[in-house]
Structure 1
Amino acid sequence: MNRRFQTLKKLPVAMALLVSSIAAHASEAPTVTHITPTWQQTLTQAKGETVYFNAWGGSQEINDYLLWANTQLQQRYGVTLKQVKVTDIAETTQRLLAEKTAGKNSGGSVDMVWINGENFRSMKQNGLLYGPFTHQLPNWKYVDKSLPIDKDFSEPTQGLEAPWGVGQLVFIYDPETLKKPPKSFKALLALAQQHPGKISYPKPPEFHGTGFLKAALLELTTDKKALYQPLKLPQDQALFDRVTAPLWHYLDQLHKVAWHQGKQFPAGTAETVQLLDDQQLLLAITFNPNAAAAAIANGNLTDKAKTYAFNAGALTNIHFLAIPWNANAKAGALVAINFLLSPQAQARKADTNLWGDPTILSPQAFKQLSAPYNQQSFKPYPAIAEPNPTWLAAIEQQWQQRYGN
């Protein structure tokens, strides 16, 4: 069995224990951290720095959370966290690659990035990352080391990125309009054929859309093992065509009965939630198992909305924080990442009234917190491991050639 599969199969148990054991929200009192002389130097150097954080900006809940984090960092450490909203972190990867090519090895435009998967692999292979740095973080001790944090889509992390949260590709539906949600991609197609115009997914390369393609391919292909091995094109073109053929056949059928006949796609998860609430779609898609609860709390969904995964499980990954090799504010970025790994920040992130993103800290990390908070009690879904990242660009490119407008 693939080691990535073995590790990820433990994930639901670890997360379930964690969800049941976190009983407190972060109070406004600072987390007590032992300050080493080396870390004190980092704090001193970071004071007054502005950290330009390139992160996906498609969720108001996440954007609001980062505004709160900025306030905390300014008050505690004199560090400003400025979110640079991007639709696809691949744009940031290309900008950093251009700076590398131009020999800009200091004073870079990006200080911190929210990444995983193919973007991490690309940044790592092109020498665009600072580190290893995770061992420098005082809050590293709180991270649950039983989670699959040592690999990112099968690529060893080697301390070049710090885990921030857990993602599982799940669906949201309204039981009042959809009594029996589909439990497989084959059942999803049948539902779309019964209700033309009511099913869609975000347009790749938006990561929810690409996630939809990967999850569908993993169910439909007859050669799952190949998806966990590196793909080398053009020599592996025949393999790629054979493994992915069932996906394109499936999408050809789905798009005929999809929202706007597959000629138009939602821009991202937020639009699928809005379309679900407007009863234009029967399903929304998200990588956050708590997204429905958060949307309900913010008045963006009916309180009847529910989240679920297909019977085979949910495509599962860890999302990470990293620092470019030429960051202008490395110390500030280290302080920001360390704070985002604190029990207070992780508890607030997991609050379903705020964001609801599952934590990557161990249960013991939250014992020092006091006030109650709203962590939705959910049993994590069986985990499906992400394919090798070398497949992603080829899948996205083929999708664009076939269906892109």
Structure 2
Amino acid sequence: MTCNTRIMATLSALVLLLAAMAAIVPGRTAAASSTPVEDWQALTERAKGQTVYWNAWGGDTVINAYIDWVAARVKEQFDVTVEHVKLTDTGSAVARVVAEKAAGRSAGGSIDLIWINGENFAAMKRNGLLYGPFAEMLPNFRYVDVAEKPSTILDFTVPTDGFESPWGMAHFIFMYDRDVLASPPKSAVRLLDWARTHPGRFTYPQPPDFVGTSFLKQALLELATDRDRLLRPVGDDFEATTAPLWAYLDELRPHLWRGGKNYPESSTRLRRMLDDREVDIAMAFNPATASNDIANGLLPKSTRTFIFDAGTLSNSHFVAIPFNASAREGAMVVANFLISPEAQLHKQDPAVWGDFTVLDVAALPVEERARFRHLKLGPATLTPEELTPSLPEPHPSWVGALEAEWQRRYGH
């Protein structure tokens, strides 16, 4: 049993226990806010001296360095300490909150802020594990571009309802070395045709790696006869709905790297394979990943990125506050800083991270707007205009179902 499988099994068991104990109030989907943010200045005063335990994925040194920068700025500006609790899987943090609620720990929780989206947010919201709503009360939320970036308030089709605050945009992209591959295939069908004539030169990360699972969703969105069906919860028609995907992967598999008998364990490993010219195409869920790797000497300068002609997946990532957070005010201060023009600009700098902003740049003060306009994205980073069209994420319930079926078919 993999680490991820164990975590999800534990989480499922704890959710069942929680429901059995009737700890969730009927008719409620999340914990009610007991501290309305009527006076932000007063809240920041209460936050002084607090330590915020921010549970966030810790698998990327670039992102870890950005979180360290956030911690330094928040400490300097607001006297709030941020401790980055590095996760390998967000599900482990969710399971901890579930366990604390099942044990009756309604205050003094071990997690104050959590980097989250997708199925983990849906599970926490559904089971009353979140504090809020708070997001739209944050002073900097007025800059968030909810009109042109609807994923900032719709997380994998699930309305956020103010129970999480966006802090970054993600877009599924492919990367290649233009000195090796002159014309990359820009659809799932053309990718299969290309793989047939270039055996062993393509693969994808093994699900449940996030990017590997995203590749499954990307292909399914193109191949499904009814794409809108994926926007609703998975049901008894799973086999029929996903049949085109498995037929496609069955055809693709013998042409993959190592004949589809092995898969890279992560997207990071896949990018190293691209650098070593073991494969000709890699993938990521950040448009700036290739530019970052070029700057750090991890990919050749001739690396470029592309999306499929019909578009690729995009989503937002968020922070949320558990219902029993110990440093609730401090967590809100951090969430607000994350959507400040200062933090968003620093984050979008490819020399820092390159993660795209959730803000409406046109709505910012003139000086801040100019800083965004003059920011160079990097040699391999597509512009926001080049990243269109974007495809919405399927309902989060499809993730576990797709991963389980992939494991049954190809994971041995």
- State the TM-score bracket (shorter-chain normalisation): 0.7 to 0.9
Change (3 A) 1:383 1:111: same
* Matching residue of 1:123: 124
Tell me whether 1:170 sits opposite 2:173 in the alignment: yes
* Matching residue of 1:140: 141
Tell me whether 1:313 sits opposite 2:311 in the alignment: yes
Q: What is the distance in 2 between the residues matched to 1:274 and 1:321?
A: 30
* Matching residue of 2:409: 402
Displacement of 1:255: 2.4
Q: Choose 200-209 or 359-368, whichever is displaced more.
A: 359-368
Displacement of 1:332: 1.2
Change (3 A) 1:37 1:99: closer
For 1:374, the aligned partner's letter is K
* Matching residue of 1:368: 367
Q: Is the 8 A contact 1:56 1:89 kept in 2?
A: yes
What is the 5 A alignment of 1:170-319? 170-232=173-235, 236=236, 239-319=237-317
> TM-score normalised to the size of structure 1?
0.85
Gaps of 5+ in 1: 1-35
Classify the secondary structure of the residue corresponding to 1:98. helix
Displacement of 1:164: 1.1
* Matching residue of 1:383: 390
Q: What is the distance in 2 between the residues matched to 1:197 and 1:138?
A: 52
How many residue pairs get aligned? The number is 365
Gaps of 5+ in 2: 1-36
Change (3 A) 1:45 1:386: same
Q: What is the distance in 2 between the residues matched to 1:212 and 1:157?
A: 25
String of CA shifts for 1:90-128, please: whole Å, max 9, x gaps.
222222222222222222222111111111111100111
Displacement of 1:60: 1.9
Displacement of 1:182: 0.9
For 1:347, the aligned partner's letter is L
Tell me whether 1:349 sits opposite 2:351 in the alignment: no
Q: What is the percent sequence identity of the aligned residues?
A: 47
Q: Is the 8 A contact 1:88 1:206 kept in 2?
A: no
Tell me whether 1:112 sits opposite 2:113 in the alignment: yes
Q: Is the 8 A contact 1:58 1:270 kept in 2?
A: no
String of CA shifts for 1:193-239, please: whole Å, max 9, x gaps.
3223221112212221111110111111222222122223xxx1xx1
Q: Is the 8 A contact 1:166 1:360 kept in 2?
A: yes
Displacement of 1:366: 5.4
For 1:391, the aligned partner's letter is W
Tell me whether 1:88 sits opposite 2:89 in the alignment: yes
For 1:322, the aligned partner's letter is A
For 1:367, the aligned partner's letter is V
Displacement of 1:340: 0.7
* Matching residue of 1:55: 56
String of CA shifts for 1:283-331, please: whole Å, max 9, x gaps.
1111112222222222221111111101110111111111111112111
Q: Is the 8 A contact 1:88 1:205 kept in 2?
A: no
Displacement of 1:181: 0.7
Q: What is the distance in 2 between the residues matched to 1:170 and 1:373?
A: 21
Higher relative contact order (CA 8 A, sep 6+): 1
Q: What is the distance in 2 between the residues matched to 1:366 and 1:263?
A: 54
Q: Is the 8 A contact 1:353 1:374 kept in 2?
A: no
> TM-score normalised to the size of structure 2?
0.84
Change (3 A) 1:253 1:366: farther
Displacement of 1:351: 0.6
For 1:325, the aligned partner's letter is F
Change (3 A) 1:118 1:78: same
Q: Choose 202-211 or 153-162, whichever is displaced more.
A: 202-211
Classify the secondary structure of the residue corresponding to 1:198. coil
Change (3 A) 1:143 1:249: same
* Matching residue of 1:8: none
* Matching residue of 1:324: 322
Q: What is the distance in 1 between the residues matched to 2:80 and 2:377?
A: 28
